[in-house]
C-alpha cells in the first residue's frame, strides 16, 4: 500500500519543483474520481477531509473509503490529511483513525470562527507537532486568516500572513508545512472581479519563501471557479452569482516560490452539482441514482486531471519508495526533520 506521510510527498515535490493538489472528499464518488484521476495521470495525491466531512460520514465510513483508495491503487502515493483541525483533539483523533498528516488551524479558536492570538496558535500547534512527529505524522499550521467560510469553518475576516511572524511561528512550532493567508478565501465567492495584485498578495509568498526556504507553503481556498462549471449549474436551474476564483497562473507562480500544497474543494463541488443538475434535467423518467452520480464522478475526475496536470504533480507517482510512518518517526527523532526539503529523505 502506498500510504505516505505528507512530509515525504511534499519533500519530493520540492525536489521536483512541482505542486501537489490537496482535494477534499466527502463521499465515495469523490474518492473514486480523485483516485482515477491520480492513477491516469500518474500523480501522487493528498486526499483530505475537513472536520465537517468527518462528521458527515460518521468518521468510519470516510476512513474506510480513503483506505480503499490506497488499497485499490497501490502504485499511487497517497497522503491522508485532516484539513483545518479545530483543536488538538481533532488532530489526535485523526491520527488514531490512520491519517498520515494533520492540519492544526490555531489561527482560529476551537469554535472555528474567532481569530486567536499568536501565543494560542503557537501553543496548540506545538502540542500537535510533538504528538504527531512522535508517530511519524506530518503537521500543517496556519498563520493569518483566510476570508470566507468552509463547512462552517472560518472567521470571514482576512488577516494576511506577516512574513517576520511566520519565521517565529515555524521556529517555535516545528511544523512541516505552513498555510499562508495571501487574500484568498474559502468557498465559491472569492472575488467579485478578476483578482489583481492588490487583492491577491502573491508577493507575500515570495517574501515568506525567502525567509523560510525549508518550509512547505500551502495555498488554501485555491479553486479557480471556472466559468464553464458555473455556467452549467446556471443553465440547469442554478443561481450562482458572477464570481472569480484564483487563476491557475497565479498558483503556478506560487509553485515557483515554494508553494507545494494547493487546496481545491469548490471546483469539484461545482463540477458535481452541474453534472447532477444536467443529468436530472435529462430523462425525467429516470430514477436510478447512478444515472446522475456517474456523470458527476466523470465531471469531478475531469477537474482533478486538469489540476494535477497544471500543478505539475502528474507523472511523479513512481518517483520514490514510500517511507513508513515508523521511518518518518525515526527521521523526526534524529532531529533531521529540519532544513532537509528539496533533497530526498535520508535516514540514519
> In the window 212-271, what residues touch Zn ion (CB under 5 A)?
220
Q: How many residues bind Zn ion (CB under 5 A)?
A: 1
Of residues 87 through 146, those in contact with Zn ion by CB under 5 A are none
Give the separation between CA 58 and CA 62, rounded to whole angstroms.
7
* Least distance from Zn ion to the Cβ atom of residue 150, Å: 6
Q: CB-wise, 126 or 220, nearer to Zn ion? A: 220
Active-site residue identified among 39, 59, 75, 83: 83
Instruction: For residues 124 and 29, give the distance between their C-alpha atoms in angstroms, rounded to a whole number.
Output: 34
Distance CA 245, CA 225 (A): 5
Cα–Cα distance for residue pair 100/93, rounded to 1 Å: 12
Q: List beta partners, residue 79.
A: 46
Query: Of the two residues 220 and 260, which places its CB atom closer to Zn ion in the complex?
Result: 220
Alpha-helical (H) ranges within 191-324 are 202-211, 227-235, 248-255, 266-281, 290-311
Spatial separation of the C-alpha atoms in residues 73 and 129, rounded to whole Å? 29
> Whole-angstrom Cα distance, residue 315 to residue 78?
14
Helix ranges (H only) for 104-201 are 118-133, 163-173
Q: In the complex with Zn ion, which residue's Cβ is closer, 264 or 299? A: 264
Which residue of this chain has its Cβ atom nearest to Zn ion in the complex?
A: 220
Q: Choose among 221, 228, 314: nearest CA to 270.
A: 228
- Spatial contact of 141 and 104, defined as CB atoms under 8 Å apart: yes
3-state secondary structure of 209: helix
- What is the x/- site pattern for Zn ion, positions 201-220, by CB under 5 A? -------------------x
Q: Confirm if 79 and 101 have CB atoms less than 8 A apart.
A: yes
**Smallest separation (angstroms) from Zn ion to the CB of 8:** 22
Distance in Å, CB of 334 to Zn ion, minimum: 31
Least CB distance from residue 263 to Zn ion, whole Å?
5
Residue number with CB closer to Zn ion (86 or 162): 86
Compute the distance between CA of residue 130 and CA of residue 173 in angstroms, rounded to an integer.
9
CB of 43 to Zn ion, least distance (A): 21
- Residue 283 annotated among the catalytic residues of the structure: no
Q: Which C-beta is closer to Zn ion: that of 220 or that of 301?
A: 220
Residues contributing to the site for Zn ion (CB under 5 A): 220
Give the active site residues.
Answer: 83
Amino acid at each position: 500500500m502506498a500510504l505516505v506521510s505528507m512530509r515525504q510527498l511534499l519533500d519530493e515535490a520540492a525536489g521536483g519543483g512541482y505542486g501537489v493538489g490537496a482535494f477534499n472528499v466527502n463521499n465515495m464518488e469523490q474518492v473514486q474520481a480523485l483516485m482515477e484521476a491520480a492513477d491516469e495521470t500518474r500523480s501522487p495525491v493528498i486526499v483530505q477531509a475537513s472536520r465537517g466531512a468527518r462528521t458527515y460520514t460518521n468518521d468510519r465510513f470516510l476512513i474506510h473509503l480513503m483506505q480503499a483508495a490506497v488499497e485499490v491503487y497501490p502504485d499511487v502515493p497517497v497522503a491522508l490529511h485532516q484539513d483545518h483541525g479545530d483543536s488538538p483533539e481533532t488532530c489526535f483523533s485523526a491520527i488514531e483513525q490512520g491519517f498520515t498528516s494533520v492540519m492544526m488551524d490555531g489561527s482560529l479558536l476551537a469554535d472555528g470562527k474567532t481569530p486567536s492570538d499568536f501565543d494560542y496558535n503557537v501553543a496548540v500547534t506545538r502540542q500537535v507537532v510533538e504528538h504527531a512527529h512522535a508517530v511519524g505524522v506530518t503537521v500543517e499550521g496556519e498563520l493569518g486568516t483566510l476570508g470566507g467560510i468552509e463547512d462552517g469553518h472560518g472567521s470571514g475576516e482576512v488577516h494576511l500572513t506577516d512574513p517576520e511572524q511566520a519565521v517565529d511561528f515555524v521556529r517555535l512550532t516545528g511544523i512541516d508545512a505552513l498555510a499562508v493567508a495571501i487574500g484568498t478565501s474559502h468557498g465559491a465567492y472569492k472575488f467579485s472581479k478578476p483578482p489583481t495584485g492588490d487583492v491577491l498578495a502573491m508577493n507575500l509568498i515570495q517574501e515568506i519563501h525567502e525567509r523560510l526556504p525549508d518550509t512547505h507553503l500551502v495555498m488554501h481556498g485555491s479553486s479557480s471557479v471556472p466559468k464553464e462549471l458555473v455556467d452549467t449549474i446556471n443553465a440547469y436551474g442554478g443561481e450562482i452569482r458572477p464570481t472569480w476564483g484564483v487563476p491557475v497562473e497565479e498558483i503556478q507562480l506560487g509553485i515557483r516560490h515554494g508553494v507545494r500544497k494547493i487546496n481545491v474543494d469548490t471546483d469539484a463541488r461545482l463540477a458535481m452539482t452541474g453534472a447532477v443538475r444536467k443529468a436530472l434535467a435529462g430523462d425525467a423518467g429516470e430514477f436510478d441514482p447512478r444515472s446522475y452520480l456517474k456523470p458527476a464522478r466523470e465531471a469531478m475526475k475531469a477537474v482533478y486531471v486538469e489540476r494535477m496536470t497544471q500543478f505539475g504533480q502528474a507523472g511523479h507517482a513512481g518517483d520514490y519508495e514510500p517511507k513508513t510512518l515508523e521511518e518518518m518517526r525515526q527521521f523526526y527523532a534524529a532531529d533531521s526533520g529540519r532544513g532537509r526539503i528539496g533533497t530526498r529523505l535520508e535516514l540514519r
